[in-house]
Amino acid sequence: MPGRRNTPATPVVTPDKLVKLAKTGIGHSEAAAELGVAVSQISSLAWSNALVSAGRFSPIPATAAAVKKARDVEENRWELIAARTGESVGRVKELYGGDEAAASSTVARGRKAGSENSGGKSATASTKRGKAAAAASPRRARTRAERAAARGNNPS
């Protein structure tokens, strides 16, 4: 037809392709590059399911104790825990202790505090240094009234 452009076909991401790539030992970003798609086009849950299917992570029972261990000890993300249990992310968070407990739970990404890659500095040392630096610098006036009050003490 005249006027129609030939657009390249969008690569299709299937669970089978994801499992095949997961078996090679690559990560989420590398898998997306290999498939020719953006990382955002492969959901974290789909990638996590592929990791479990490929045998890189073992299934765990859908119990509160197993979910807490996977989150707190193994530092798994919610999507990976859901894939390992066969439950939804919402159900996994319920097993963990509800939305409030899940919201207060964090999983470190990247380098862990105290590891060789982080230069051996602990998180508490960097936090203390940050608080000391913040306390040493003067607070900047944010409102017009605060700025006027600060100028009122200026003898010049």
Whole-structure pTM over 0.85, yes or no?
A: no
Q: What is the pLDDT of residue 128?
A: 47
Least confident of 8-17, 18-27, 30-39, 83-92: 8-17
AA identity, residue 22: A
Q: What is the pLDDT of residue 105?
A: 81
Q: Which residue has the higher pLDDT, 150 or 102?
A: 102
DSSP state of 40: G
Q: Which residue has the higher pLDDT, 10 or 24?
A: 24
Q: What is the pLDDT of residue 154?
A: 66
pLDDT band at 98, cuts 50/70/90? confident
Mean pLDDT of 6-15: 72
Q: What is the pLDDT of residue 61?
A: 94
Q: What is the pLDDT of residue 110?
A: 52
**Can you list the alpha helix ranges (DSSP code H) found in the chain?**
15-23, 28-35, 44-53, 64-68, 78-85, 89-96, 99-104, 123-136, 144-152
